[in-house]
Structures are given as C-alpha cells and as structure tokens.
Structure 1
Amino acid sequence: MTRSRWSDLDRPPLNAAALRRAVVVPGGLWTGLDVVEATGSTNSDLTARAGQGAAEGAVLVAEEQTAGRGRLDRRWSAPARSGLFFSVLLRPGEPRTVPADEPAAPPLDQGPVPVNRWGWLPLLAGVATATALSRAAGVDTALKWPNDLLLTVEGEERKAGGILAERVGTAVVVGVGINVSLRAGELPVPTAASLALAGAKGTDRDPLLRAVLRSIADWYGLWRAADGDPAASRLQQTYGAGCATLGRQVRAELPGGKELSGTAVAVDGDGRLVIAGPDGEQAVGAGDVVHLRPDAGEG
C-alpha cells in the first residue's frame, strides 16, 4: 500500500502557503519559498537555480532528503517530515537595496560584501539557527565549530543539526538540516539527537521554520549592513558566546591526514578556530574537530 503524506499523524506536512504568507513579505529578504515532497539534496537543487539566475532570498524546503550532504562530503538521510531540511540563496557579492525604516526616508543601497568575509555565512546561519531554536523550542543549544548544532540529551551533548554553505559565483547557498521529531530508534548514530529527545516544548515544524528563517534574515541584515565585518555586526562575539568548542581540549583532523591537539581558545576574524598547542597558537580553517573529554576520551 502506498504511504500517504498523512500516514504519520505525528508528522504532518508543512503548510507551504501559510509559510509563504508569513516569511515572503514586501521589503524582506525572502523572495520565494517552495516546499517539495522529496529530493536528493535541497542544496544541489538550489545551487542549480542559483546558476540559472534565481533571485536572492529563494528558499527551498524538502519534506524528505534522500541524499542530504554535510561537511566533508558526508551523506545522511532521515524519515520523511522528521526534521527541517532546507536551503536558502544569498547573494553577498551583489549590491542590495534595503527599504528605509521610516516611510519618508530613501532606501539604502548596500555594496557587495568582500569575498574574504563570505566564510562567515555558515557561522552566521549557525548563530541564527541556534538562537531561534532556543526561543521557539525552549531548548538549550550550542554550536560546535564551525556549524554543528548541539543539544543536551540525558546529560550529554549530541549533534542535532548541521549547516553546509556552497559558493556559486556571486551567490552562496546555505543548507540547514535539523532533527526535529526523530525517536531514539530512528537516530542515524547513538551520538545524534533531536529536538524531541532534548525535551522541546513543541515540535510543530511550521513555527520552527518561520523562527529560523526570520533569525537568518535578521543576522544577514546586520552582517551586510556592516559590510560583512563580524566584529561590527556582533556576529563574532555572539558566535563565541554560544560555541561549546571554546575552552575545550580538542583534536583537529586536518586535510592531508594531519592532526592538531590543544585547547580551543578563540574564533578569529576570519572564522577560523584558534588552537593553543605545544607549538603555540595555530588557526584552523578547515577540518573535523573532536571534543576531548578530560580523560582524553572523545566527546
């Protein structure tokens, strides 16, 4: 028997029309929102649209991803309607006109953001997602560098989501995946988590998605207004305050098979993780970071 989209009443489908009315508003960042039943990867689909000239602010949401992609080319999937799987199209490399706060004031024209600051976009999305979920779902959230979302389940930090940013010319496609209603038996690995398992006050995906999109738009507006400066936009400070990696003993598994161990002491102006080790401080811009327990076990 073919499963209906209403087969699991604990996981109702998203209301695309209501979402569009809520987030696609005059003068706002979001210019369109589509919800598809299933796709391989929203990032791949929106990247293709970006290459065809899609406008900044396009949002693509999938009820199910069959070939979702994470950092370091990792693959993952989840049951249909068990999470939020979406991508957004941003064009930081193009000028932008922002409506004035006062009706009589002229709109503000913003120039392109320098390319060397685009690396902050996945961290921006992490800050926006974590702060939105803290408010909307009532759960304590933290970030593992660079952009894994951590929740506490049974007294331990577990990954409940992640972010992947991909550049397409003057555009950046940012994909977000969040485990919302996954049950313990549905987790891809025992160290994963979901909002439900973390005791969220609600798992209705419609208000959660609205909250995250509004938060991304707010932070993107602040960042663009500051020409992408992470300090002037307070993005760097806010990220540091919510980053569970800082102050921890870590092991960074770097490209080429190298490793660097030490204490994570800061996130620098380029979004890199600064690790203090036996040879002094070194900044890591790419790689996989493992949190180490005090007994040198992995966390």
Structure 2
Amino acid sequence: MLDSPYTDLDRPPLSQEALTRALVRPEGLWSRLSVVDRTGSTNADLAQAARDGAREGAVLIAELQLAGRGRLGRVWTAPARSGLTFSVLLRPPVPVARQGWVTLLVALAAASAVRRVAGVDVRLKWPNDLLAGERKLAGVLAERVDSAVIVGMGLNVTVRSEELPVPTATSLSLENAECADRDPLIRAVLREIETHYREWVAAGGDPDACGLRPAYVAMSATIGRDVRVELPGERILEGRATGVDASGHLLVTADGVERAVSVGDVVHVRAT
C-alpha cells in the first residue's frame, strides 16, 4: 500500500531548495529544512538530532515514511508523495507544565492553514487529530527528548479512497479541497505554526494570554459533546467534554464532577 502506481505528474516531489528559500530566514523560527525521499520515522530522526544538540527550528519532511506511528504506537501509512509527513524540533522556553499545549498548538495551526488554503472545514478532535466531518484527515504526535519537543504530523492530501489505511480516514482530495498542492500547504502550515508558537512563547506558555485556548475551543469537534473516554486498565469515563485546562488537559464532567484527563491517560476519546 506504500508504493503507488501514480506518476510524478500526479504527485510531484517537494523542492527542498524552494521551501528553504521561502521559510528559513535569520530571524525566523525555522533554522533548517530538509526533504528526504524516504525514512523510517521523521520523529525518530529529529529525536536523534535533538540528542546530538540540533538547534530549535529544524524541519524534516519525508516523501515516504516507512515506520510512521501515531499515539500509543498506532501505525500511520500513506503512499509516497500523497501527503505531508513532517516533524519539527522545538525547544520551548516555557514551564514544563504548560508544554502539553504544543500538540494542540500545532494541530490548531495546521487546521487554520488548511482551512484557509484548501477551503475544507477542518475541526480538531482532542488531543491530536484533524477531522473533516467525522473522518480523520491528519494526526499530530509530540514527544519529549531531553529539553526538546519533537512534533510530527501526517496530513492526507491526495490519498485516494482505495489507498486509505482505514475507512474512517479521508484526504483533502476526497473532501473536494480547493487546493491539494502540497507546496503551498506546507508553507502555510509551517508559517501558521511559527506565528502561534512565537505568540505562545512570548506569553510564557499562558494559553489565555496569547489567545490559544479560545482559538482551540472555537475549532474543537470534541468540546461540547458527550464523550466516552477509554482509560488504561479498561476503565471508562463517560460525560460531557466541557473544555481544556491551562495544561491542555481535556475537561470532562460526569455526574456533576469535572475531571481533567491528560494525553498520557487516554487510550481513545469517542463522541457518543
């Protein structure tokens, strides 16, 4: 399923040189941008780079990822050049307790960029999915490596119905996007991430002072709905998702009691 019969005319490669010229500048967040034909995992590659002392702002884009994964080790696959598969290296100078917002920040930035460029009504499923309707369009995975945070994303762009890894997934093409060109999409996503990240860092990681929390809530497909939260040990929490707290935890109210659920606590969150 990873190899594709479609040609470069259908799915042209990204240009590292063009993207570097557009996105890497002395005063900007992005310090280095690389495009590789294939790799096992962009997150794993940047994690090693972080251990080796790479500076903040490294971006790695893979045309084909052979060992991609989502949260809890779930597999993420897509044919070569059918999507945007990339990771970024961040070293947020904010309190660790607020760094849980990194995943939500990147998801929000990507959703905002895709809505603007592609004209698709993207919504956010807490903690790390981008949805078109009820189908998954993209996933975000953040991992801490020493003092760094590696954030990876896989966005389905031109994946066709017969290439979808699961029937609950979708792509921009399948959603009749106004734009399914990966070049303007990745430019818009990285610029949006930079804007949100700089504002969040300037506010010391406070999601309210920089407007991050209200923006996330406004685009959420989870908040305001009844949810079933699957927790480790086959425990279940059912209630109404009412918001996210200052650490990015999901707030769920059940039987009049509000509980904060962290990303690390959750196996699945499903609307009921």
What TM bracket, shorter-length normalisation?
Answer: over 0.9
Select 1:151's aligned residue among 123, 132, 135. Answer: 132
Distance 2:4 2:257 in 1: 58
Distance 2:44 2:234 in 1: 28
Percent identical residues: 58
Q: Which residue of 2 aligns with 1:104?
A: none
Alignment of 1:165-180 (within 5 A): 165-180=142-157
Q: Which residue of 2 aligns with 1:27?
A: 27
2:151 maps to a residue whose letter is V
Scaled by the length of structure 1, the TM-score of the pair is 0.87
Distance 1:291 1:5 in 2: 37
Q: Which residue of 1 aligns with 2:75?
A: 75
Q: Deviations over 1:11-68 (max 9, x none)?
A: 0100111000000012000000000001111000000001000110000000011110
Distance 2:7 2:171 in 1: 21
Match status 1:126 vs 2:103: no
Distance 1:5 1:51 in 2: 38
Q: Deviations over 1:72-113 (max 9, x none)?
A: 111121100000000000011xxxxxxxxxxxxxxxxxxx31
**Is the contact made by 2:229 and 2:237 (CA closer than 8 Å) also made in structure 1?**
yes
> 3-state SS of the aligned residue for 2:19?
helix
**Is the contact made by 2:30 and 2:59 (CA closer than 8 Å) also made in structure 1?**
yes
> 3-state SS of the aligned residue for 2:33?
strand
**Is the contact made by 2:4 and 2:79 (CA closer than 8 Å) also made in structure 1?**
no
**Is the contact made by 2:41 and 2:68 (CA closer than 8 Å) also made in structure 1?**
yes
Alignment of 1:73-152 (within 5 A): 73-92=73-92, 112-152=93-133
Distance 2:173 2:67 in 1: 23
Q: How many Å apart are 1:8 and its aligned residue?
A: 3.9
Q: How many Å apart are 1:141 and its aligned residue?
A: 0.6
Select 1:210's aligned residue among 187, 210, 222. Answer: 187
1:126 maps to a residue whose letter is A
Q: Deviations over 1:199-234 (max 9, x none)?
A: 111111011000000000000000000011111011
Scaled by the length of structure 2, the TM-score of the pair is 0.95
Mean CA deviation greater in 252-261 or 27-36: 252-261
**Is the contact made by 1:6 and 1:12 (CA closer than 8 Å) also made in structure 2?**
no
> 3-state SS of the aligned residue for 1:69?
coil
1:64 maps to a residue whose letter is L
Q: How many Å apart are 1:268 and its aligned residue?
A: 1.1
Alignment of 1:31-70 (within 5 A): 31-70=31-70
Q: Which residue of 2 aligns with 1:297?
A: none
Q: Which residue of 2 aligns with 1:192?
A: 169
Rg larger in 1 or in 2?
Answer: 1
**Is the contact made by 1:5 and 1:13 (CA closer than 8 Å) also made in structure 2?**
no
Structure 2, unmatched stretches of 5+, are none
Select 1:228's aligned residue among 183, 205, 213. Answer: 205
Q: Which residue of 2 aligns with 1:96?
A: none
Q: 1:213 to 1:166 in 2, by over 3 A?
A: same
Q: How many Å apart are 1:278 and its aligned residue?
A: 2.3
Q: Which residue of 2 aligns with 1:95?
A: none
> 3-state SS of the aligned residue for 1:68?
coil
CA RMSD in angstroms, aligned pairs only? 1.5
Structure 1, unmatched stretches of 5+, are 93-111, 293-299
Distance 1:226 1:252 in 2: 31
Count, aligned residues: 267
Q: How many Å apart are 1:280 and its aligned residue?
A: 1.6
Q: How many Å apart are 1:256 and its aligned residue?
A: 2.3
2:14 maps to a residue whose letter is L
